[in-house]
Amino acid sequence: MVKILFIDDEKHLRLNVSEILTLEGYDVITANDGLEGLAKAINTEPDLILCDLMMPNLDGYSVLSELKKTDLNEIPFIFLTAKSDHSDTRKGMELGADDYITKPFTREELVNSIKTRLDKRIKSKRLLKSKIEEDRLNLVNHFNGADIRTSLNIILGMSSVLYNSNDNNLGEDSNKMLTYIINSGWNIVRFMNNFYYNEILNKDEITPEFKSIEAYKAKSSIEVIAKKLTLEYARSKDLTLSIEDVEVPIDEQLFNYITEELLYNAFKFTQKGNPVLVKAYEKDHLFFLEVNDFGVGFSATADQIQPFKKFSSKSDAPCSGLGLSNVKRITEKMGGTFKLDTKPNEGSSILISFNKFKK
């Protein structure tokens, strides 16, 4: 319900205006002088303020002037006054008032002025929201653009070639620095991917109709991703794959993203030597992907997984919270289920499932 704050030292007028606006469906808050009105404006954050001009303690000009110094400076502000001198009107408008109603006024004048100012405020908010969305889209497109991707690919490619070269005589310390460069580069790539998927999820561009057109096997997709990550983390001995040769019922790009994020998190939050188990199988006409680790774990339920929310754990690994949140949201958008079982110091188990292809 729209809240209107009415500040006036005339009790009879306060009652009459309150009754009119209440019957119009507004939630009306009243104050009997400028000081009380200013305090209530700050405490209640109304959608519009009606304010008398001449009042004890603090006049209408001063109320408006003080509000303009706060976060409430965009609230529509309408003066009510018995004075109709042009200089008074001009002073109020210069301070930022949105309208001026001269007493006595009719019910229609009051209601129309309020509706006009509220409508204008709504349109202003819509324009601002549209501009913010446009800026965010431009940022996402730029952030995920070819220039940044190309630069990262050059850094990662050349660093990897140098590290794996048979002629690499850089020494242990230099190779360790190269490893840090390569891992940091991949972290940036992952954050860019996570940020991208978070934005298209916010725009609702991933829908249940985004099904895979061509069937493909889970085994080959998971093995390619697993090989890349085990090499990156030098964890080939820690990973156990139990992958049935079954078809995946969602888009391959989405499935690869989900798989890589789950495996990446499993390696990131476990120490070298701790096992990571990945299973993919079919049961009761459902496809299942399960990732288990025995790392630090954390305190959360599936319902608490949200973008940019990090849960407490003993790991110092950087974490934006986007990856796991994206996996959960994509799974649910595709009509699947997402289950999480995690406890501090006991590791994590994530199980996702999708309905199989309709024959």
Q: Are 285 and 296 in contact (CB under 8 A)?
A: no
Check whether residue 55 and residue 169 sit in a common domain: no
How many folded domains does the chain comprise?
A: 3
What the block records as the tokens of 341 is 């079982």
Amino acid identity, residue 200? I
Check whether residue 198 and residue 293 sit in a common domain: no
Q: Comparing C-alpha atoms, which of 2, 26, 30, 37 is closest to residue 14?
A: 30
**Burial (Cβ within 10 Å: 0-12, 13-18, ≥19) of residue 275:** middle
Average pLDDT rounded to a whole number, residues 275-283:
94
pLDDT above 70 (res 179):
yes
Check whether residue 186 and residue 267 sit in a common domain: no
Q: How many angstroms separate the CA atoms of 259 and 308, rounded?
A: 20
pLDDT number for residue 75: 92
Q: How many CB atoms lie within 10 A of CB 87?
A: 8
pLDDT number for residue 306: 82
Tell me if 136 is assigned to some domain: no
Q: How many angstroms separate the CA atoms of 30 and 55, rounded?
A: 14
Tell me if 300 is assigned to some domain: yes
Task: Name the pLDDT band for 9 (thresholds 50, 70, 90).
Answer: very high
What the block records as the tokens of 329 is 């949201």
Average pLDDT rounded to a whole number, residues 32-39:
94
Q: How many angstroms separate the CA atoms of 291 and 265, rounded?
A: 10
Q: 88, 104, 129 — which closes off a domain?
A: 129
Tell me if 138 is assigned to some domain: no
Check whether residue 177 and residue 227 sit in a common domain: no
Query: What is the per-residue pLDDT across 107-155, written as a single tens digit (0 to 9) for each?
Result: 999 999 999 999 988 888 888 777 777 776 676 666 666 677 788 888 8
Check whether residue 179 and residue 282 sit in a common domain: no
What the block records as the tokens of 96 is 């930022």
Query: What is the per-residue pLDDT across 218-275, written as a single tens digit (0 to 9) for each?
Result: 999 999 999 988 887 888 899 999 999 898 888 888 999 999 999 998 988 888 889 9
Q: Which range among 33-42, 146-155, 211-220 has the greatest average pLDDT?
A: 33-42
pTM: 0.59
pLDDT number for residue 203: 77
Give φ, ψ of 75 to 5 degrees. Answer: -70, 130
Q: How many angstroms separate the CA atoms of 118 and 170, rounded?
A: 68
Check whether residue 193 and residue 303 sit in a common domain: no
Q: How many angstroms separate the CA atoms of 13 and 54, rounded?
A: 14
Task: Name the pLDDT band for 343 (thresholds 50, 70, 90).
Answer: confident
Tell me if 78 is assigned to some domain: yes
Task: Name the pLDDT band for 332 (thresholds 50, 70, 90).
Answer: very high
Q: Are 308 and 352 in contact (CB under 8 A)?
A: no
Peptide bond into 76 cis (omega under 30): no
Check whether residue 223 and residue 350 sit in a common domain: yes
Check whether residue 183 and residue 223 sit in a common domain: no
Average pLDDT rounded to a whole number, residues 299-327:
74
Distance of CA 150 to the CA centre of its chain: 27
Report CA torsion sign: 209, 210, 214, 218.
negative
Average pLDDT rounded to a whole number, residues 23-47:
95
Check whether residue 172 and residue 51 sit in a common domain: no
Instruction: For residue 351, give Cα distances in angstroms to 41, 217, 277, 280, 292.
Output: 49, 18, 12, 10, 9
Check whether residue 222 and residue 345 sit in a common domain: yes
Average pLDDT rounded to a whole number, residues 194-217:
73
pLDDT number for residue 10: 93
147 vs 188, more confident: 188
pLDDT number for residue 358: 47
Check whether residue 59 and residue 176 sit in a common domain: no
pLDDT above 90 (res 24):
yes
pLDDT above 60 (res 211):
no
User: If residue 321 lies in a helix (H) or strand (E), which one and from where to where?
Assistant: none
Instruction: Tell me which residue range forms the domain holding 336.
Output: 218-355
The mean pLDDT of the chain is 85
Check whether residue 119 and residue 25 sit in a common domain: yes
Q: Percentage of the chain with pLDDT > 70?
A: 88
Task: Name the pLDDT band for 318 (thresholds 50, 70, 90).
Answer: low
Task: Name the pLDDT band for 359 (thresholds 50, 70, 90).
Answer: very low
Q: Lay out the sheet containing 337-343: strands in order across.
A: 239-243, 276-283, 286-293, 347-355, 337-343
Q: 155, 171, 202 — which closes off a domain?
A: 202
Tell me if 281 is assigned to some domain: yes
The CATH code of the domain that includes 63 is 3.40.50.2300
pLDDT above 90 (res 290):
yes
